[in-house]
Amino acid sequence: MGSSKADKAASHDRIVEIAAARMRSSGINGVGVAELMREAGLTHGGFYRHFASRDELVGAAVERALAQGSARTVATSGQGGRRALEAIIDDYLSPAHRSHPEAGCAVAGLAEDVSRADDRTRSAYRRQVKQYLELLAELTPSTDAADDRRRSCLVLSALVGALVMARAIGEGSLSDEILFETATALKEF
């Protein structure tokens, strides 16, 4: 690959990476093309050399953000079983995860925006939720697959809901309490 193609690919990747982080923290509509390109060290006019539309960028950035969250969760679950579930709960409901949405879970960070997004973005989000549900069900299997599914739906909903509320409230004792009490209840579940 020539250096101009390599440079274009690197620039494209940088734009998607920056957009993924910004969308996790500011939402899909919180990312402007001009500001994003400036942050990537590129001109606003160069955007259309990389993407046919803003929707194409949004789809790529949401897919990247979701994949990064999945990689983080899979890495945390490495030991398997109940310990892995507790590690995921502790990581997900940590004050650090609450306070740094740009590096956090896109399922929580983009939930509201994705409900109004295009099919590509909603499909990527749906796939990620299904992957998380499957992973959670695998970590504490029982003899009843339907019960495993119900439990994984409850755990994922509690994780995402607690994180969204804690972020909305902001740092402080109430936010910390929501994270701690939800984590404690999920570990006892």
pLDDT band, very low/low/confident/very high, at 4 (cuts 50, 70, 90): confident
Please determine, for residue 19, whether its predicted confidence score (pLDDT) is greater than 80: yes
The pTM of the full predicted model, rounded to 2 decimals, is 0.86
pLDDT band, very low/low/confident/very high, at 1 (cuts 50, 70, 90): very low
**Residue range 162-177, pLDDT digits in tens:** 999 999 999 999 999 9
Q: Alpha helices, DSSP H only, in the chain?
A: 3-26, 33-39, 47-50, 54-76, 81-92, 95-99, 106-109, 111-114, 119-139, 145-169, 173-188
Domains of the chain: 5-188 (1.10.357.10)
The pLDDT assigned to 3 comes to 61
